[in-house]
Structure 1
């Protein structure tokens, strides 16, 4: 017997991605500025991992990355209406992430002056499968970065750890290209000089001339 009742017919559920996901950055920025439904999720899907990675590398171990990532996106959605060039969505968002990271670094320094927490030291027990030597190198690197001022630290991390292009590093840091290049050359030379004096870190860093931007 053939049952043709609509109630008994198999149901097909079509899952369609948000059309905003197909927009370029300019279109997505406009959608976010207009408060279109789905815009927040589309921006998060496109750039959430990038923002998380940047904050994690700038702040180092124990940096409360999730909280700072949420703060970055909250600020972005408050400020996106002020974005003059919608195509500059990515550097605009990275600039906000840099400001959030810089503020977090200042608060961390203040807590240390008051002898509170935020030492930045990694846990004593390494996770299973983690290269203990590499883990110790990371701890020493961030201890070294803690000796830098916030601007120098951000420049070094954005360029040499996060791997941003020089122009994007300058834009995210709110500097001209020439200024960023000048300060970056100084901090790169300083970090390499410190690393070369550490037998463990020396094995992980490239020669200073290879790290410079020419």
Structure 2
């Protein structure tokens, strides 16, 4: 089977080809869900709902997309904005765990216990970050987005993004110092 590039899939999905859209969903569903899960402090139900709403919105609004190559950024922006809106309405309190973050388990019980404690500390530290700061940090450090793209996703400037990420890194480094 021939692997289609993203622009071709987007163009076909815009023409209402459900098979093309399904391939796009498969390509991005794990990444979008993981972003939502982390932004929403490990609230799996909320992350699933936001990820699903993101793809439903994408299907409905795909004909409005001007550039096929912008699909990925558009999808991330939609998910990020939905998460930020949800966080403004209420404050989830669940912790992230190693499985939800996609980390592998360790056969060494002492090391596994240390990793578990570190993950709890990281989860708590991420939860304390302001939502915009957490979004910028996750988009950069976990999802590898550029400062410019993050700025476009969260509606600010690259300079503001750099500042938010620097503050998040400083706070997280302080909390994670015992695990270095």
Query: TM-score scaled to structure 2, two decimals?
Result: 0.77
Give the aligned partner of residue 29 of structure 2: 48
Structure 1 residues 22-57: Cα deviation after superposition (integer angstroms, max 9, x where no partner): 1x2222222222212312211112212221222223
Structure 1 residues 38-89: Cα deviation after superposition (integer angstroms, max 9, x where no partner): 1221111221222122222322333323222211111111222222222111
> Which SS does the other structure have where 1:60 is aligned?
coil
- Work out the CA distance in 2 between the residues paired with 1:173 and 1:106: 14
Pick from 44, 52, 58: which aligns with 1:70? Answer: 52
1:80 and 2:62 correspond: yes
Give unpaired runs (5+ residues) of structure 2. 98-104, 107-111
Give the aligned partner of residue 102 of structure 2: none
Pick from 98, 101, 107: which aligns with 2:80? Answer: 98
- Work out the CA distance in 2 between the residues paired with 1:48 and 1:31: 18
Q: How does 1:145-184 map to 2 (within 5 A)?
A: 145-184=126-165
Number of corresponding residues: 167
Give unpaired runs (5+ residues) of structure 1. 1-16, 110-117, 124-128, 196-200, 206-214
> Which SS does the other structure have where 1:38 is aligned?
helix
Query: TM-score scaled to structure 1, two decimals?
Result: 0.66
Q: How does 1:118-137 map to 2 (within 5 A)?
A: 118-121=92-95, 131-137=112-118
Higher helix share: 2
1:139 and 2:145 correspond: no
| Two-structure CA RMSD over aligned residues (Å) | 2.5
